[in-house]
Amino acid sequence: MSDVLRMENVGIDYANRRTRMRIVDDVSLSIGPGEALGLVGESGCGKSTLALAALSYLPRGMRVSSGRVLFDGRDLATLDDAALRSLRGNRVAMVYQDPMSSLNPVVTIGRQLVEVPMLHGERSAAAARDRAIAMLAEVRLPDPERMMSRYPHELSGGQQQRVVIAMALMAEPALLILDEPTTGLDVTIEAAILDLVRELRRKFGTAILFISHNLGTVARICDRIGVLYAGRLVETGDIRAVFGAPAHPYTRGLLAALPRLEAGRGGARLTPVAGTLTAADRARVGCAFSPRCSHALPAACDAGPVPMLPADAEPGHVARCARLEAVRDSRPATPAAEATRGRDEDSPVLLDVRDLSMVYAIGGGLSGGPRAELRALSDVSLAADAGRTLAVVGESGSGKSTLAKLLSGLVTASEGQALFAGADLAALPVDERPADLKRRLQMVFQNPDSTLNPSHSIEHAVVRPLRLLRGLGRAQAKEAAARLLERVRLPADMLRRMPHQLSGGQRQRVALARAFAGDPQLVIADEPTSALDVSVQAAIVNLLAELQDASGIALLLISHDLALVRHMADRVAVLYLGRIVEYGPADLVFAPPWHPYTKALLAAAPRPDPDAPEPEVILGGVMPSPLDPPKGCVFASRCPRRIGPVCDTTPPPVRHPAPGLTVACHLEIADLPS
């Protein structure tokens, strides 16, 4: 038996005092030495549970109730605690999503790293220390010697994740499990981490189980892929075979739901995966996906368990679908064409932001500490037009959320103006805005968990804005609320539900309904889909576009997802350290990318294509502190195309390589596209 990890018909049950539930059903997979298998699926599909089963480390209440998990040919169920302990850490290691919760905040990096070999047989502390330093260099952390004496909080998120990976590799495991290792990190850092994982794999020959909801990251790392749905493996095979010719309708749906970087703002809609996964689907004897599948035939799909069938000539490419031929012969779902809209027409400018700056004063006063200025935004100028989408992109810390807070009046600007509906938003905190201004500007927030008050029903969230912003009476507002829910495709009886009874996507729909309750003119959407699964994201994105078409609002989209921005935006502003480095029509900003930073962002964005070229530039380093911004070009410290000292000393000139496009860079226009 040569496989490192082998799962044979594994089923995992969860039981507590009240319920019993099958989490994972009949999953078989294997990972050979040095192989990388990607597991994808939407949240709740059982990805992480499978990973924990590979460690025999299931949470309380869960157990492997059928099948076998073999590690190095040994059945994990037959091993005692001591044997399992030596297995974990020696032969298999795991990297979790949030590095901060994997690292002990009160112990130095060095001690945490040295602990690993010391626990697994190393006698000499000095030798363990040397190995730890070597491993920190291996994960490309600067100055490993000094890194050893640092504490986790002194490191950036990307550096922390590198330390966790170093820790996992200290024992030279045969299998490395990565559970969403880059979720929550910026695209540039994500690209660098993925690059590192690939290189380490080449070097150490470690097998990898890579868990992700992002098809793009899986495409960059893995040889093979397994697609999970409702705890069942629905398709597996070579990554090129699956991405090239997806066989299962769910896999096809996932791929169709992704916004693509290559496609422009052509007006096409995304194709969401219809319906939602329900608890009843998990218990189905037949195909779990059939209630959401357009190819489903009750006689074929719901009659009995569907076995894994060969999907095509490619060996090892199998799918759990009873109607493979019918699915294969059907054309991949094509997005419905959008109602034609005069894209080229001039539309009136609704929001005109001029030289907006935001400076936070830090320290001083009673709390002590030296007084300092934090420049979160610096001389930002942009405009949003009626019926159009303006996207603001950038890494975390670039000031995009500050801009949203400023415009929504949750903070007040230090300098500059933001003219909207005859008022200067920059000088008007939300509580001082007249009711009509509040009605015209609404916001959709990022986190579906905190966008709705957990203590109040959906009705409260929708009726209150109707009453306050539209001045409706109680009865009228209730009627209007039902109509509003209809507009965001939610059933009217949803009004009586509590937020915790809704899925993330449904909550985001309610948030949209709330924002559109007063017929706004400008809606700020701060990462409206970043916490949602791709299949749900597509539906929300389409809904936003639909609402925008119907009402002609200007949409200010804040996002770090360039593919999404490419899909939605008419105009793009690229923000770095509070400054706009590139601004203009989306088509011009993206093709070709002019500014070196835009180019780096685009290169880093994961593409769901195993044959995508490796990114030419991977941004290293971290964004400088806004407390001490560089005197010259803010991007100079990380710029791959830095000219020389001029970049460090002089702020870059604003160039206009094309009409309507501004680029802040020292490079001559002719040299900008490369």
Partner 1 sequence: MTETDRAAPEGLAVAPVRRTGRAFAARGAKGLKAALTASPIATLGGAIILFWAICAVLAPWLAPYPPNQLDPMALVDPFPSAQHWLGTDQLGRDILSRLLWGARTVLTVAPVAVLAAAVVGTLLGLVSGYRGGVVDALVMRVGDVMLAFPQIILYLIVITKFGASALNIVLVIAVTKAPIIARIVRAVTLDVRNRDYVAAARMRGESTLHILLVEILPNARGPLIVDIFLRLGYTTIAIGVLGFLGIGLPPPDPDWGGMIKESYGLLFVYPHMTLIPAVAVSSLVVGFNFLATGIREASFDV
> Least separation, in Å, of the C-beta of 31 and partner 1?
19
Instruction: Decide if residue 443 touches partner 1 (CB under 8 A).
Output: yes
Stretch of 316-324, 334-342, 413-421, 437-445 lying at the interface with partner 1 (CB under 8 A)? 437-445
> Least separation, in Å, of the C-beta of 588 and partner 1?
33
- The rounded distance, in Å, linking the Cα atoms of 197 and 314 is 27
> Least separation, in Å, of the C-beta of 430 and partner 1?
5
Beta carbon nearer to partner 1, 387 or 409: 409
- Region of 390 (left: φ > 0; alpha: ψ -120 to 50; beta: rest) is beta
Backbone angles phi, psi at 327, to 5 degrees: -70, -40
Burial class of residue 640, CB neighbours in 10 A (0-12, 13-18, 19+): middle
Site for partner 1 in 259-318 (CB under 8 A): none
- The rounded distance, in Å, linking the Cα atoms of 328 and 324 is 6
Site for partner 1 in 508-537 (CB under 8 A): 511, 514, 517-518
Amino acid at 459: E
First CA to last CA distance, the chain: 50
Backbone angles phi, psi at 9, to 5 degrees: 45, 45
> Least separation, in Å, of the C-beta of 474 and partner 1?
15
Beta carbon nearer to partner 1, 383 or 411: 411
Q: What are the tokens at 560?
A: 């770090």
Instruction: Decide if residue 432 touches partner 1 (CB under 8 A).
Output: no
Which of 383, 386, 430, 643 is in the footprint of partner 1 by CB under 8 A?
430
Residue 368: CB partners within 8 Å, gap ≥ 6?
none
Counted residue by residue, the chain has a size of 674
Look-up: residue for tokens 């360039």?
562
Beta carbon nearer to partner 1, 398 or 408: 408
Instruction: Decide if residue 449 touches partner 1 (CB under 8 A).
Output: yes
Q: What are the tokens at 105?
A: 């905040």
Beta carbon nearer to partner 1, 60 or 123: 60
> Least separation, in Å, of the C-beta of 194 and partner 1?
20
> Least separation, in Å, of the C-beta of 279 and partner 1?
15
Residue in 261, 523, 542, 583 with CA at minimum distance from that of residue 388: 523
Instruction: Decide if residue 372 touches partner 1 (CB under 8 A).
Output: no
Stretch of 203-211, 268-276, 436-444, 476-484 lying at the interface with partner 1 (CB under 8 A)? 436-444
> Least separation, in Å, of the C-beta of 435 and partner 1?
6
Which of 46, 465, 615, 626 is in the footprint of partner 1 by CB under 8 A?
465
Contact 300, 604 (CB under 8 A): no
Instruction: Decide if residue 21 touches partner 1 (CB under 8 A).
Output: no
- The rounded distance, in Å, linking the Cα atoms of 200 and 360 is 42
Backbone angles phi, psi at 21, to 5 degrees: -145, 140
Instruction: Decide if residue 361 touches partner 1 (CB under 8 A).
Output: no
Instruction: Decide if residue 473 touches partner 1 (CB under 8 A).
Output: no
Look-up: residue for tokens 């579906």?
448
CA distances from 522 to 407, 435, 443, 490, 611 (A): 10, 15, 8, 23, 40
Backbone angles phi, psi at 477, to 5 degrees: -65, -35
Instruction: Decide if residue 112 touches partner 1 (CB under 8 A).
Output: yes
> Least separation, in Å, of the C-beta of 450 and partner 1?
4
Residue in 528, 653, 651, 663 with CA at minimum distance from that of residue 599: 663
Backbone angles phi, psi at 383, to 5 degrees: -140, 145
Could you give the angle at the alpha carbon of 467 between the alpha carbons of 461 and 468, nearest 5°? 90
Contact 384, 417 (CB under 8 A): no
Stretch of 393-401, 446-454, 535-543, 661-669 lying at the interface with partner 1 (CB under 8 A)? 446-454
Which of 410, 427, 591, 646 is in the footprint of partner 1 by CB under 8 A?
410
- The rounded distance, in Å, linking the Cα atoms of 193 and 484 is 43
Site for partner 1 in 84-103 (CB under 8 A): 85, 88-89, 93-94, 96, 101-102
- The rounded distance, in Å, linking the Cα atoms of 114 and 128 is 5
Strand locations in 286-407 (E): 309-310, 318-319, 349-362, 372-385, 389-393
> Least separation, in Å, of the C-beta of 571 and partner 1?
24
Stretch of 236-244, 253-261, 456-464, 601-609 lying at the interface with partner 1 (CB under 8 A)? 456-464
Beta carbon nearer to partner 1, 166 or 196: 166
Number of residues that bind partner 1 (CB under 8 A): 57
Stretch of 71-79, 199-207, 425-433, 543-551 lying at the interface with partner 1 (CB under 8 A)? 425-433
- The rounded distance, in Å, linking the Cα atoms of 411 and 402 is 8
Instruction: Decide if residue 248 touches partner 1 (CB under 8 A).
Output: no
- The rounded distance, in Å, linking the Cα atoms of 473 and 334 is 44
> Least separation, in Å, of the C-beta of 6 and partner 1?
21
Report the b/e string of 337-357 with b at 16+ CB within 10 A.
eeeeeeeeeeeeebbebbebb
Beta carbon nearer to partner 1, 331 or 474: 474
Which of 56, 357, 414, 442 is in the footprint of partner 1 by CB under 8 A?
442
Q: What are the tokens at 610?
A: 């195993």
> Least separation, in Å, of the C-beta of 117 and partner 1?
11
Q: What is the C-alpha R_g of the chain? A: 26
Site for partner 1 in 153-192 (CB under 8 A): 164, 167
Burial class of residue 477, CB neighbours in 10 A (0-12, 13-18, 19+): buried
Q: What are the tokens at 19?
A: 């319920």
Instruction: Decide if residue 55 touches partner 1 (CB under 8 A).
Output: yes
Beta carbon nearer to partner 1, 76 or 242: 76
Instruction: Decide if residue 500 touches partner 1 (CB under 8 A).
Output: yes
Contact 93, 168 (CB under 8 A): yes
> Least separation, in Å, of the C-beta of 473 and partner 1?
16
Strand order in the sheet with 372-385: 372-385, 349-362, 415-420, 423-424
Instruction: Decide if residue 464 touches partner 1 (CB under 8 A).
Output: yes
Beta carbon nearer to partner 1, 471 or 645: 471
Which of 149, 450, 649, 650 is in the footprint of partner 1 by CB under 8 A?
450
Beta carbon nearer to partner 1, 84 or 333: 84
Which of 28, 66, 347, 447 is in the footprint of partner 1 by CB under 8 A?
447
Residues binding partner 1 (CB under 8 A): 16, 48, 52, 55, 57, 59-61, 85, 88-89, 93-94, 96, 101-102, 112, 115-116, 119-120, 164, 167, 408-410, 430-431, 433, 435, 438, 441-443, 445-447, 449-456, 461, 464-465, 468-469, 498-500, 511, 514, 517-518
